[in-house]
Amino acid sequence: MNQSICKQLKEQSPLIHCITNPISIMQCANTVLLFGARPIMAEHPGEVREITASAKAILLNFGNITRDRLEAISISYDEAMKKEIPVVIDAVGVACSQLRRAVVAKMTGAESVELEENLKKDFPFISKRNPKVPMLVKGNYSEIRALYDADYRSSGVDADKKLTFDATIDLAKELAKSLGVIVLASGEKDIVTDGARTAVISNGTKKLGSITGTGCMLGTACASFFAVDTSIDSIVNATAAFGISGENAEGDMFLMRLFDAVSEINDDIIVERKKVTWY
């Protein structure tokens, strides 16, 4: 297990190319920066290939997609497949959007999702997945279930409170195994699995669910750690680090305190404070 990932992040300062949504773009950029990496948030289809080529990891966030952003995501993905750049897919909204689910399914190599005729014109070209490229697929319990079960639907981008941890851990493992990826199912207990090894992280606070964008911030934390170490342990540490930051930020002015807490995280704090159970 990499015990010096925060130190390496600050020493290497890798470039993280994030195509994310405007709702949380400021939080995402600052999360990357405060962990020690360098963010770039390019999304114009004319420049994303060039910028992706120079990145050490990319984050593709499906929140609030537009035609241009969807095209940019597909171009960035294509370049990552060619250059073998680690990819984090944050599957925001796949439980409520057939289009998003279909694009993520294509990128991960899952079975294709049949689209309604009126949506086919918006489906971008998606290159074939390169199995050599490290990939993390992140989502809340509903989003992970939607990627596992083609018939599942949910309302909005929030997790369905009826979905249990016990049910989610099993399907997350099956999804990771079938796709050959690392899966992060975020919830009251976060689940990280590659199908063979599974970790449950209990760090965090309910305050993280009280403001928008914290799930996207977790995705950028994972992308930053992924740029240095593409193991499952790296994603476990990233998830624990962000949860610990939430714990340390509790109180008034939570978002500002959260930024401060992220900036103070180091390897020793992660080792001392993380609450991880391996299955």
Tokens found for residue 242: 């962000």
Q: Is residue 79 in a domain?
A: yes
The string of pLDDT tens digits covering residues 47-71 is 999 999 999 999 999 999 999 999 9
Residue 45 lies in a domain: yes
Enumerate the β-bridge partners of residue 18.
59
Domain residue limits at 142: 5-192+212-235
CA-based nearest residue to 172, from 135, 206, 145? 145
| Residue 96: inside a domain | yes
Residue 254 lies in a domain: no
Q: Is the residue at 155 inside a domain? A: yes
pTM of the complete model: 0.95
DSSP strand E in 82-140: where? 87-90, 135-140
Number of domains in the chain: 1
Q: Which amino acid is at 175?
A: L
CATH number of the structural domain spanning residue 168: 3.40.1190.20
In a domain, 142, yes or no: yes
Q: Is residue 249 part of a domain?
A: no
Q: pLDDT (tens digit, 9 = 90+) per residue, 152-196?
A: 888 777 767 678 899 899 999 999 999 999 999 999 899 999 999
Predicted confidence (pLDDT) per residue in 98-113, tens digit: 999 999 999 999 877 7
| Share of residues in the chain with pLDDT > 70 (%) | 98
Instruction: Note whether residue 32 is domain-resident.
Output: yes
Minimal CA–CA distance to 6: which of 217, 268, 233, 256? Answer: 268
